[in-house]
Amino acid sequence: MATPEFQQTLGKTGGFSGTALHTGEKVSLKLHPAPVDHGIKFRRKDLQDEPTIDANIGNLKTVERATTIGEGPVRVHTVEHVLSALWAMGVDNAIVEMDANEPPIGDGSAQPYVDLIRKAGVTTQEEPRKFFDVRDTMHVESKTGALLVLLPDDKFRISCTQAGPNNQFTQFLSMEVTPAVFEREIAPARTFVYYEDVKPLMDKNLIKGGSLENAIVVRGDAVLSKEPLRFADEFVRHKILDIIGDLALVGRRIRGHAVAVKPGHAANAELARSITREQIRRSAVATPRAIPSGDAGLDTDEVMQILPHRFPFLMVDRIISFETETKCVGVKTVTINEPCFQRHFPGHPVMPGVMQVEAMAQVASILLFKLARTTSRIGYFMSADAVKFRKPVLPGDTIFIHAELTKSRGERLAKAKCHCVVNDAIVSEAELMFTFLDK
């Protein structure tokens, strides 16, 4: 297990002013430090009561050309560059205060924000970071040809392929996203637009603040901008910048590899939404307890390293807490796919009581193996006393399996008092005795 990473915020408040892209008006932006578990919030200083908007995917409003979030009637547009900079530079908690509905566009990159964060400094806080670990490959596709695949990885990586109309300016770049890499390789990359896309907007006066000073304009084969390209592959770098900013709306650090082909805000946001849905599903499995990390619990892989049992006889999904050396709680989510339900009973599926006893025995053996610090032995069930089945367990239930070692004689014999809980009610209980023999 890696050492826990801690949440971070800004060392102090800092700010700068500039032009808003859409209105062309002057806007002042300030980044403030914020306490642990605050996340990133936008504050509209120009509105009465200074409302704040949580930078999370639930508040996503529109994704045309830029990412807009809102709560109630309040909106903040084009949040992706400032979010990208904060997230990639390691800031988990901050207030982004503005006196308009949009941050300053700066030079169209995340550079001004990185400079600001650098000046303010980044400080470590007392609480560990929250992560989303990709376990199964996830993917989203859009009608416009965008494809995003998220693969398991122990780091946060992005591999991106960008291609313009007729596969013009096709560029590919792959990297692990760290503050140093972001600052050097990604932050300076500017927004680019296609002339055909922006011409109608310019005609309608919808991008009053837009100019060749804050965007690269692509017209046919020509690349127009005030300053020459900062990288030969500046476009794909900016796409990566936008992906980071949009995925920041997940509100958790992602451990996974995002592989993106022709990404855009809509597809990025869709992936952020899928991640959040998966995260909610995972938390629901273990409610009301949070899934601990490190030595506080065991995930399925770790459980399987200890127990020799396999599907359908592995009756523990994970251990969610070790309360003391002799007490722990395991979790098993019961689904209709369990083979036992095919016969027990057709049309009226009830989990067999004996399988609950087996679940208790497995949780108790994990406790004992952990205490004895060996997995070279197998536990054999000797007796089950005072067994009571109080309520039926049905498909869809999550069973919390509590086990407490009450007696262990030498390293060979142990007794455990166990009970299973569903929806805060005890559904079964038993006192188990088992012996341990070498494999």
> Which of 242/358 has CB closer to Zn ion?
242
Residues in the chain, overall count: 439
- What span, in angstroms and rounded, lies between the C-alpha atoms of 162 and 383? 64
Q: What is the dihedral of CA 377, 382, 386, 387, to 10 degrees?
A: 70
d(CA 334, CA 338): 7
Task: Name the minimum Å distance from CB 78 to Zn ion.
Answer: 8
What's the token pair of residue 186?
């990604």
- Residues that contact Zn ion, how many (by CB under 5 A): 2
Q: How many CB atoms lie within 10 A of CB 263?
A: 28
Nearest to Zn ion of 191, 326 (CB atom): 191
d(CA 370, CA 414): 13
Supply the minimum distance, in Å, between the C-beta of residue 120 and Zn ion. 22
Using Cβ positions, the residue closest to Zn ion within the complex turns out to be 242
Task: Tell the smallest beta-carbon distance from residue 191 to Zn ion (Å).
Answer: 5
Nearer to Zn ion, 158 or 364 (CB): 158
Smallest gap from Cβ 157 to Zn ion, in A, equals 20
Measured from the CB atom, is 75 or 190 closer to Zn ion?
Answer: 190
For residue 195, the minimal CB distance to Zn ion (Å) is 17
Which residues have CB under 8 Å from 386's CB, separation 6+? 429, 430, 431
Over the window 191 to 220, marking each residue x when it contacts Zn ion by CB under 5 A and - when it does not, the resulting string is: x-----------------------------
Residue 152 tokens, joined: 């398991």
How far is it, in rounded angstroms, from Cα 94 to Cα 122? Answer: 11
The reply to whether 234 sits near Zn ion by the rule CB under 5 A is no
In the region spanning residues 239 to 268, those forming contacts with Zn ion, defined by CB under 5 A, are: 242
CA atoms within 13 A on the CB side of 323: 11
Task: Kindly provide the residue ranges of all beta strands, DSSP E only, lying in 113-239, ordered along the sequence.
Answer: 122-128, 131-133, 138-141, 147-152, 156-162, 171-176, 192-194, 216-219, 222-224
- Which CB atom, from 101 or from 191, has the smaller least distance to Zn ion? 191
> Is residue 400 within a helix (H) or strand (E), and if so which, with residue range?
strand 398-409
H/E element, 266:
helix 265-285
317-376 residues in contact with Zn ion (CB under 5 A) are none
Give the nearest distance from C-beta 379 to Zn ion in angstroms. Answer: 57
Write out the DSSP string of 67-113. -EEEETTEEE---HHHHHHHHHTT--BEEEEESSSS-B-TTSSSHHH
Closest CA to 340 of 315, 312, 381, 314: 312
Asked if 237 contacts 186 with a C-beta cutoff of 8 angstroms, the reply is yes
**Between 234 and 338, CB nearer to Zn ion:** 234
Q: How far is the CB of 82 from Zn ion (least distance, A)?
A: 11
* Catalytic residue set: 265, 344
393, two tokens: 């367990």
Q: Output 27 or 433, the one with its CB closest to Zn ion.
A: 27
Residue (24 or 51) nearer to Zn ion, CB: 24
CA proximity to 258, closest of 86, 87, 172, 139: 139
| In the block, residue with structure tokens 């599926």 | 349
As measured in angstroms, the least distance from the Cβ of 232 to Zn ion is: 19
Taking CB under 5 A as the binding criterion, the range among 91-99, 164-172, 186-194, 362-370 that sits at the site for Zn ion is 186-194
- Beta carbon nearer to Zn ion, 182 or 436: 182
Q: ∠ CA 84-86-87 to the nearest 5 degrees?
A: 65
Task: Determine the 3-state secondary structure of 83 from DSSP.
Answer: helix
**8, 69, 18: which is closest to 44 by C-alpha?**
69
The region of 69-77, 94-102, 234-242, 318-326 touching Zn ion under the rule CB under 5 A is 234-242
Which residue has 């199964």 as its token pair?
Answer: 136
Q: Which stretch binds Zn ion (CB under 5 A): 34-42, 190-198, 361-369, 422-430?
A: 190-198
Shortest Cβ 151–Zn ion spacing (Å): 24
**Which residues form the interface with Zn ion (CB under 5 A)?**
191, 242
